[in-house]
Amino acid sequence: MATSRTADPAARPAPDATLADRVTALIAADIRSRAYPVNTRLPSEQSMTEQYGVSRTVVREAIARLKSEGLVETRQGSGTVVRDLKVSDAFRLGLGAPSVDDDPARGVLRILELRRGIEAEMAALAAERRTAAEMTQIQQALRAIAAAVKEGGDGVQEDLAFHIAISRAAHNAHYTDLLGLLTRALHDAIRLTRTNEARRADLAAQVLAEHEAICEAIRSRDAAAARTAAFLHMHNTAARIEQADKDFWTGDSRAMARRVERASIAGGEGRTPARNRRRP
């Protein structure tokens, strides 16, 4: 991998970091050192693949992480642009938490605890407020998860889309905003939970049944049942993670857990413009 312009030893990634970890850290350091000034556009994907000696996939992953940290944003007609660090506030989920090396499941469990209350009330509101079109979107999102898994995928994006569809049906844009801000952490957390659950047919069946229960309660406009189903889904997902054996927390799983532990909720990405938000 090519050398970054940054020479700050503090910005160097850990020795066991992935390529995406390393590229993210190097670009972030260049942004913070003003090698890329505020409001300037980052180089093209092709330029960065040549600069850092990595694939486009790695560059895209690094850019996605920089967006989640609030360091860059995508502007129509301008590409990926550096944000003003003074206004790029972020709530870092892992602050004050024990090292993920002590318990690799800890960061994932904290995300699930955070989601438990959010998802429960969001589902209840969706049951009360959803339109027929929104119900169709939720059902299509649920079917897409099964279709993705059948085709050999992990269903992560489809799982996220299912929950986003429910958030929109709640008719409170703050839920969709919050899920958008949580996307980086949620992506890794959902991938970890789905990877764990895919190892056993009984666990995969449990997840499918939990998703179907949420969907059916929303379809029936039963707010209490939707709240309970969503709460139990998050609770059971956490229990499945806690029961994962030590062999699961190696390699890619450990790397994802580390990212979840230090993930941040950054302003400026995933938000719905106020003029496009629907009122309840």
Which residue would you say has higher pLDDT here, 120 or 262?
Answer: 120
Helices (H) and strands (E) in the chain, counts: 11, 4
Residue 31 lies in a domain: yes
Q: Nearest to residue 211, comparing CAs of 164, 143, 147?
A: 143
Residue 280 has pLDDT above 80, yes or no: no
The structure tokens listed for 245 are: 């054996």
How many structural domains compose the chain? 2
Domain limit, last residue, from 88, 123, 138:
88
Residues 80 and 184 in one domain: no
> 155 pLDDT exceeds 80?
yes
Decide: helix, strand or coil at residue 266: strand
Summarize pLDDT for 156-204 with one digit per residue, the tens: 889 989 999 999 999 999 998 888 777 666 777 787 888 888 878 888 8
CATH code for the domain in which residue 117 is found: 1.20.120.530
Question: What's the chain's average pLDDT?
Answer: 81
Which CATH number goes with the domain that contains 24?
1.10.10.10
Up-side HSE of residue 69: CA atoms within 13 Å toward CB? 21
Residues 268, 137: one domain? yes
pLDDT for 37-74, tens place per residue?
Answer: 888 999 999 999 999 999 999 999 899 888 877 788 88
Q: Are residues 98 and 216 in the same domain?
A: yes
Cα distance from N-terminal residue to C-terminal residue, the chain? 50
> Is there a single domain that holds both residue 44 and residue 102?
no
pLDDT score recorded for residue 150: 87
- If asked whether residues 178 and 256 sit together in one domain, one would say yes
Structure tokens at 70: 């609030």
Please list, in sequence order, all residues whose beta carbon lies within 8 angstroms of the beta carbon of residue 159, skipping any fewer than 6 positions away.
Answer: 145, 190, 194
Query: What is the spatial distance between Cα 67 and Cα 27, in angstroms, rounded to a whole number?
Result: 12
Q: Identify the domain containing residue 69 by its residue range.
A: 9-88
Q: Is residue 1 part of a domain?
A: no
Burial of 196 by CB count in 10 Å (0-12 exposed, 13-18 middle, 19+ buried)? buried
Least confident span in 103-112, 226-235, 258-267: 258-267
Q: For the segment 114-137, what is each residue's pLDDT rounded down to a tens digit?
A: 889 999 999 999 999 999 999 999
Same domain, 121 and 73: no
